[in-house]
């Protein structure tokens, strides 16, 4: 997420899986809020409901910031919240095909 926010000209597809939005006082939300204009990027954000306290809310907040900058759910933004999934490789692998399909459609 960080590199895509800082260098949108280099990263046109962002697969943001289980983002640590809480890190560094939620710096990802601040950086996303500083985007001067909508970039030509497709953004996938996903999270499992068993990843930790506030994880789902944080992922939703990140998606809301992208929406406020012009991204639209289902068009160039996807937010996927998967019930019962934890922060692990099995959960990410289960969402991988859907993420790749969305990012390259």
Q: What is the pLDDT of residues 39-57, one digit of tens each?
A: 999 999 999 999 999 999 9
* Fold type of domain 2-103: Rossmann fold (3.40.50)
> Count of H helices and E strands in the chain?
4, 3
Rounded mean pLDDT, 50-77: 97
pTM of the model: 0.95
Helix 23-33 to helix 55-68 angle, to the nearest 10 degrees?
20
Bridge partners, residue 82, by sequence:
48
Distance CA 54, CA 11 (A): 27
Q: How far is C-alpha 71 from the geometric centre of its chain's CA atoms?
A: 12
């Amino acid at each position: 997420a960080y590199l895509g926010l800082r260098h949108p000209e280099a990263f046109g597809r962002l697969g943001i899986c289980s983002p640590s939005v809480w890190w560094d006082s939620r710096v990802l939300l601040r950086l996303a809020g500083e985007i001067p204009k909508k970039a030509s990027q497709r953004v996938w954000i996903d999270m499992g409901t068993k990843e930790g306290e506030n994880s789902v809310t944080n992922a939703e907040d990140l998606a809301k910031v992208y929406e406020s900058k012009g991204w639209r759910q289902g068009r160039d933004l996807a937010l996927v919240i998967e019930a019962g999934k934890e922060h692990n490789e099995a959960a990410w692998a289960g969402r991988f095909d859907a993420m790749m399909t969305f990012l390259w459609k």
